[in-house]
Amino acid sequence: MATPDLNAQPEPPGPASPVAERIAALRELLRVHAHRYYVLDEPTLPDSEYDKLFKELQGLEAACPELVTADSPTQRVGGKPLEQFVSVRHQVPMLSIRTETDTEPTGAQNFDNRVRRELGLSDSDPPIEYVAELKFDGLAMNLRYEQGVLVQAATRGDGEVGEDVTQNIRTINQIPLRLPASAPAVIEVRGEVYMRRADFEALNERQRERIAQGARGEKTFVNPRNAAAGAVRQLDPAIAAQRHLSFFAYGVGEITPPQAGGPVFATHYELLRTINSWGFPVAAQTRIAQGAPELIAFHEAIGRQRDRLPYDIDGVVYKVNSLALQNKLGFVTREPRWAVAHKFPAQEQLTTVLGIDVQVGRTGKLTPVARLAPVFVGGVTVTNATLHNEDEARRKDVRVGDTVIVRRAGDVIPEVVSVLPEKRTPGAPIFSMPGACPVCGSMVVREEGEADHRCGGGLFCPAQRKEAILHYAHRRAVEIEGLGEKLVDQLVDAGVVRVLPDIYRLGLNALAGLDRMAEKSASKLFQAIKQSRQTTLPRFVFGLGIRHVGEATAKALAHHFGTLDAIMEATQEQLLEVGDVGPVVAKSIRTFFEQPHNREVVEQLRACGVTWEEGEPAVTVTKPLSGKTFVITGTLPGMSRDEAKDRIEAAGGKVAGSVSKKTDYVVAGAEAGSKLVRAQSLGVTVIDEAALLTLLSR
């Protein structure tokens, strides 16, 4: 197919052939539905139907390349990668707007006072009408249309000269390639290219996967603005298309006199409504505001919404609505007197890492936390920021003494965004998770395929004390009716219960003395504790809170081994003989009972009179796939992946979600993806469904 000249003007219409008429109809239909989908967020056509129409248009244009035009929906991603960007001089400079340094509501009052003073208005004069808009955290863009066709997109640059990024901007579905006939012969629409937060997170997730697979030169992005700016400045438009950019319009640049019957703008708000009717997205929050009080109300309302918006903003913008008054006010040092950017408190600031502490959560999860030099971010003083886990801390390479960028958005826990390595003290050590729990000294474990480290002293660790008691007292575990969260908080916070056996040492008087505990309630709880001494082995094993051991696994362990001592002394190989136990669960059980603290708590519970009936171990039946780990990828011809998983587990095997050196078999079906590639790189045995059925039949 011949490459069309994307800057060429459409030829005057001649006699239309049936093919040309169909192409024109398809283009218009696709434009209408794309506008409803990308701009109005009100799709009326299923994706599959849209795809059919699009493919039909592609086929017709391939057969008749002479009919391809720059404004065709098929040309959103087209052209070869550029060697470099061409400079563009703006016909009307893209000037910056003054920033109001007062981030409080009084900043709006300051702006209104200045405007009224410049216009010579007194307090008795009526309020000035403004347009209040969002201040997007993206990349300013100038879109030039000639005879209704998008011919050029240019970055702001230094305000006078920008870069031609037309090929990349064509990939943004929210930007129309053609305007209606009522549009001026030449008009430049200006707005902001940005990336929605969901698209940003998806992009970074894809980047992390590429990095994990060993791709070179890949990185994650610090924030949506950087990701959007990097996408716009890609020399290959196909790469830019993968970033899923978005656009909001907020004004115009050069504009010729409108055609007969076309728009004549008197106000900025009227201008926005008109370009919105042409297909450009305009933020729904845009409002007309009468005087300073309504500007202040807008600033406060958007501030409350800020963190719930699907995209980043760093403030709001106020503009005098009347274009005649804008002309009268004019400019000062190349900034308009009739507009101002009123920012919110910064959500990112620089500070220093004073130390890295490790916190232990209620479930035993260890979280590294950067201790920071106090810094004011997003309206509060921040002294700590989460590093999430060891992998994240190392990926960002956060070290003690580093200068870092800290971000806080709304009620979200502050986090370290990135490090300034050029300011690092030489020799600063790389962070590593401790080998022992910083609270109780128990062994720290990290299970294969998991990002988190955990304390192994679940029954002993003070950080996990409340969670351990609540789990033990659960109605499906040992069950102590009436021992709920508020009561456990009281008992632990008062130091009455330090470990599980202390529950059985509580007297009636001690319970009655608790806050809001009546004598009758204390008596009922005392009796419930007494009754819980007689339980069953599955309930007791489940009540210990061993990671990955649920009710079904506890029952399987009790049935298989018969006694608690046998479970506590079982090796990993012996544990794997239990039908409901795989490698991860077996290792978790062994780790739990290898901790002296946990064994001591179990013995104390026994000494406190907790008993259960025990029996003989079940007859061991060796299953054909015992001890083998499988990974399933792709589509199998004769069974679903869930069916394959059930059959493997019924035969004693374990099905994992990712491929590692410990994987025994990868079962690959049609369209197998990255898991197959990884299996081949690690030398893991790859089999098909037929080979799996052979293994199952042994």
Residues noted as catalytic: 135
- Give the 3-state secondary structure of residue 383: strand
Measure Cα distances from 213 to 207, 540, 603, 657 in Å.
Answer: 10, 43, 47, 16
Task: Answer yes or no: are the C-beta atoms of 36 and 43 closer than 8 Å.
Answer: yes
Q: What CA–CA distance (Å, rounded) separates 189 from 169? A: 13
Q: What CA–CA distance (Å, rounded) separates 627 from 648? A: 11
Task: Answer yes or no: are the C-beta atoms of 138 and 226 closer than 8 Å.
Answer: no
Q: What CA–CA distance (Å, rounded) separates 636 from 493? A: 55
Q: What CA–CA distance (Å, rounded) separates 342 from 114? A: 14
Question: Which amino acid is present at 215?
Answer: A
H/E stretch holding 427 reads none
Whose CA is closest to 90, among 54, 28, 138, 141? 141
Burial (CB count <10 Å: 0-12, 13-18, 19+), residue 225: buried
Q: What CA–CA distance (Å, rounded) separates 72 from 50? A: 15
Whose CA is closest to 162, among 115, 75, 69, 92? 92
Task: Answer yes or no: are the C-beta atoms of 631 and 663 closer than 8 Å.
Answer: yes
Phi/psi of residue 580, nearest 5 degrees: -95, 10
Quote the DSSP letter at residue 370. E
CA 26, 31, 36, 38 dihedral sign is positive
Query: Apex CA 41: angle with CA 40 and CA 47, to 5°?
Result: 120
Q: Give me the count of residues in the chain.
A: 698
Please, how many CA atoms are within 13 Å of residue 16, restricted to the half-sphere of its CB?
10
Six-digit token string for 669:
């079906």
